[in-house]
Chain A
Amino acid sequence: MATPARKSRVFRNLNAKIAAVPMIFCSVVVFLGFSIWTVVYSFTSSKLLPKANFVGFDQYERLWSNSRWLVSIENLMVFGSLSLIFTIVMGFTLAVLMDQKIRFEDTFRTIMLYPFALSFIVTGLVWQWVLNPDFGIQGIVRGWGWESFSFDPLNNPKLVLYGLLIAGLWQGTGFVMALMLAGLRGIDEDIWKATRVDGIPTWKTYIVVIIPMMRPVFITTLVLVAAGIIKLYDLVIAQTSGGPGNASQVPAMYVYSYMFQAQNLGQGFAASTMMLLSVLIVLIPWAYLEFGGKKHG
């Protein structure tokens, strides 16, 4: 940690500044600097080692005409939107149920939240096993007598995303439920008293009054889940390895594959830049909504 060489009133709060150097270094150099470096080098034809021979948009042209990349993007959009919708709907519904002064609330919450403590690798492997056609659900139902029962999403290119979805929801819904529950609990008792006095039924209260009041929580959840989805990697690696064929490929895998296996850094950088772009597209509107132009960002 080097002492920053600044001047005059900078020496006020010097200790604080020194202590905060890691953060400044980290945020500027790493998050800003590295991202810019990657974007810049995506315009080169770097192979195994980065080289500054600039080739304009070539890497992007190639990227967007690559069938595997296009499948990855499509997969991410389908998986992403389904995941978002189901996670939030399920999370909210469960939170509402949990909010109803039930017994064993702690037990229920513990059960719903424990998958969140597990690694994506563990989740992917477990669900690969449960969905195994010979030993998993399909095998068992067939064993019960329904010979023609078919439930083999992981080997069916059209259904494999749903197999991933089942695992992803299992892991993430509990977390969203906890967030929503915290939000629900933060709503003033008086609001409820008022709606009860007015004779509005509970379910209507939820939809018309509560949800709009929980807007910040919803938006935050949306952003968190969306940001997590874009980074999707571990789960797919463990559960399907991108298969069958390329049916469950995701952009993060394309990046890794081309950066490190195909020895084509330029392609990998172009793909990562696209990932960065998509995150910004999600984030910038949110930042504007949240901070309304007061803080810049």
Chain B
Amino acid sequence: MADATVNGAVAGSEASPRGAKPARRLSGRNIMIYGTLIVVCLYYLLPLWVMVMTSLKGMPEVRLGNIFAPPVEMTFQPWVKAWAEACTGLNCDGLSRGFWNSVQITVPSVIVSIFVASVNGYALINWRFKGSEVFFTILIFGSFIPYQVMLYPMVVMLREMGLYGSLTGLVVVHTIFGMPILTLLFRNYFASMPEELFKAARVDGAGFWRIYFHIMLPMSLPIFVVALILQVTGIWNDFLFGVVFISKAENYPMTVQLNNIVNSVQGVKEYNVNMAATMLTGLVPLIIYFISGKLFVRGIAAGAVKG
């Protein structure tokens, strides 16, 4: 029953909505619906507006007070400073350094974690073996365990492997902790693919990897895109692992650097620079989100609503 609901939900986001056909006039019902939605949207848009407006003002104007007012004298100086000049200690290269660090962290982590998880999902569904379901259940439980519980042993393990503090170590960490949800995602998707395809390929004599690369992969582009979006946003936005597993300040990802710049102060707080910095950090996942909104939603629904 739950399975049907899930698959129905995934497929059904394209199905027609509920309710009677809307009357094309200002009925009380319409006012209430649209009114509520608009008020709610104001709540959602407020911070974005404030961020953008503040980041375009000079500091004297910011101090004058009204955070909702558009800038009288618009300036891009805060953005320039946030990107290229903000200081943490003696290093004053701004967020640009953190940006490239985040890119360096995200790209390999995404590739490795998605590859590993898709292979896992594939193996689970099509090549069941004794104990595979047990391990899968443990994996899913594992995704709920708070990271703090596993932090310190993870540090020890990476140290023993000689990977602590390095980029590779962080990629390993992201892969491991991303595995449960992604494996679930791929498993569910592969489960919904017709079994005949797989059986036919086996009859033809194809082995594990051939089927993976020649049949599963090409047919599951949509779910790969969804996984890509989830992982890119998740890893880009990560803070805890960046703080614990990266040891040199020059290798910090953007989120950690952002927190450092904003929450540790050199004299006076420059709110406009801080806002510009915040926006810059949020820009990459936001852009990805805006480009692929519908897919993103479908991905969340498919991956998270378990069956």
Contact = CB atoms under 8 A, between A and B. Distances in A.
- Interface size class of chain B, counting residues whose CB lies under 8 Å from the partner chain: 35 or more
B187 to A, nearest CB: 10
Given A17-B129, A23-B179, A102-B37, A119 B282 contact: yes
Interface in A1-27: 12-13, 15-17, 19-20, 22-24, 26-27
Given A119-B239, A119-B255, A183 B18 contact: no
Contact of B129 (A16, A28, A234, A268): A16
Interface of A is mostly: helix
Interface in B236-270: 236-240, 255, 258-259, 262-263
Nearest to A192: B18
A47 interface: no
Interface of B is mostly: helix
Given A31-B142, A185-B17, A102 B5 contact: no
A211 interface: no
Contacts of B285: 117-119
Interface in B151-192: 151-154, 156-157, 175-176, 179, 183
B209 A15 contact: yes
Contacts of A279: 144-146
Contacts of B278: 122, 125-126
B149 A178 contact: no
A291 B16 CA distance: 31
A271 B146 CA distance: 11
Nearest to A255: B148
B240 A122 contact: no
A135 B5 CA distance: 48
- Interface size class of chain A, counting residues whose CB lies under 8 Å from the partner chain: 35 or more
Contacts of A143: 65-66
Interface in B112-148: 116, 119-120, 122-124, 126-127, 129, 132-139, 141-148
Nearest to A24: B135
Nearest to B30: A102
Interface in A106-121: 106, 108-115, 117-121
Interface of A: 12-13, 15-17, 19-20, 22-24, 26-28, 30-35, 37-38, 50, 94, 97-103, 105-106, 108-115, 117-122, 125-127, 129-130, 134-136, 139-140, 143, 170, 174-175, 178-179, 181-186, 188-189, 192, 202, 214, 216-217, 220, 223-224, 227, 230-231, 233-234, 237-238, 241, 252, 255-256, 259, 265, 268-269, 271-273, 275-276, 279, 282-283, 287, 290, 295-297
